[in-house]
Amino acid sequence: MQQKVILTCAVTGGDDTVPKFSSVPFKPDQIADEAIAACAAGAAIAHIHVRDPETGKPSMGLDLYREVVQRIRESGSPVIINLTTGPGARFIPSSSEANTAAPGSNLRTPEERVRHILALKPEICSLDMGSLNFGKGALINVPSHIEAIAAEIRRAGVLPELEIFDTGHLAFSLDMIKRGIIDRNAIFQLVMGVPWGAPAVTEALSAMKSLLPQDSTWAAFGIGRSEFPMVAQAYLLGGHVRVGLEDNLYIEKGVLAPDNASLVKKARTILEMLGATLATPDEARQILGIGQVKSDTDRSAEPVN
């Protein structure tokens, strides 16, 4: 019988969606509250980006990450915190000057991209495993930078979630595991439907799943209208799942989702109709091998600098 299914909620993301969609949380208290509410609705993990609380634009501010994490920990919610290391890879080339970044680029060093992980030590953090054409530019994740970020994640004692946008990213992940740079218990997160990565179709997901090590822990999610179909497909192929306003803004065709919890509840309904049982946060910790939830005393003693 398939083990319980871990549901992750990606609560805000890093795209410039705030000016257009009022449901996307962007202030630290809003992001924390959405993560807590998603957990109450059935999500075991909250995947977190931060945003400028004045403009809603994507941010990498350590103080913002710290406030979100502290608010969640102090709330008593058992949700597993999963912080992103994705920001800092966006490159839009100038069309008039060679080797020049155009406005909208945000390239940062590996050290800058991982400093909040070392400071706050979440239980999980994401790690993008390759480059990808994205929007008007590209997400640039070269091997040396991925390896440097992976080394710092390991130093922090944090479980990496490997973001796999295409089969080449998966091949590089397996190579890094073989070389001992990434631990074998890392989570594989198969990202489906991002232009121009792996398409959100059954054939692509099945092919990528077939390339994973037999004993690996993996999940998958779809972007936009493919979000809920990929919930079903990932479960039926033996994986864990993800939803959230980072990935999709609609609860059904033409109807905006009011919050992240509504997306979690719909995913839960789909999964339970298929016979699945959602893992609680502590059950997810056992599945992932990251121990039991810390007590409030333990949490308050954690360093934040």
* pLDDT, tens only, 98-134: 999 999 999 999 999 999 999 999 999 999 999 999 9
Is residue 234 scored above 90 in pLDDT?
yes
Within-domain flag for 2: no
Q: What is the pLDDT of residues 133-148, one digit of tens each?
A: 998 899 999 999 999 9
Is residue 294 scored above 80 in pLDDT?
no
Within-domain flag for 183: yes
Report the alpha-carbon distance of residue 67 to residue 74 in Å, rounded.
10
Per-residue model confidence (pLDDT) at position 3: 78
Within-domain flag for 110: yes
Per-residue model confidence (pLDDT) at position 1: 45
Within-domain flag for 305: no
- Residue 296: pLDDT band by 50, 70, 90 thresholds? very low
Burial (CB count <10 Å: 0-12, 13-18, 19+), residue 248: buried
- Residue 229: pLDDT band by 50, 70, 90 thresholds? very high
Per-residue model confidence (pLDDT) at position 2: 63
CA distances from 91 to 101, 106, 138, 143, 271 (A): 6, 6, 5, 16, 38
Q: Name the average pLDDT for the chain.
A: 93
Within-domain flag for 1: no
Within-domain flag for 230: yes
Q: Which residue segment(s) compose the domain that 164 sits in?
A: 7-300
What SS3 state is found at 192? Answer: strand
Give the whole-number percent of the chain exceeding pLDDT 90: 90
Is the N-terminal amide bond of 218 cis, ω within 30° of 0? no
Is residue 61 scored above 60 in pLDDT?
yes
Is residue 293 scored above 90 in pLDDT?
no
| Residue range 164-178: mean pLDDT, rounded | 97
What SS3 state is found at 139? Answer: strand
Within-domain flag for 116: yes
Number of domains in the chain: 1
Within-domain flag for 132: yes
CATH code where residue 144 lies: 3.20.20.70
Tokens 């039926």 sit on residue: 236
Q: What is the pLDDT of residues 216-228, one digit of tens each?
A: 999 999 999 999 9
- Residue 16: pLDDT band by 50, 70, 90 thresholds? confident
What DSSP letter does each residue of 35-86 carry, written as one string? HHHHHHHT-SEEEE-EE-TTT--EE--HHHHHHHHHHHHHHT--PEEEE---
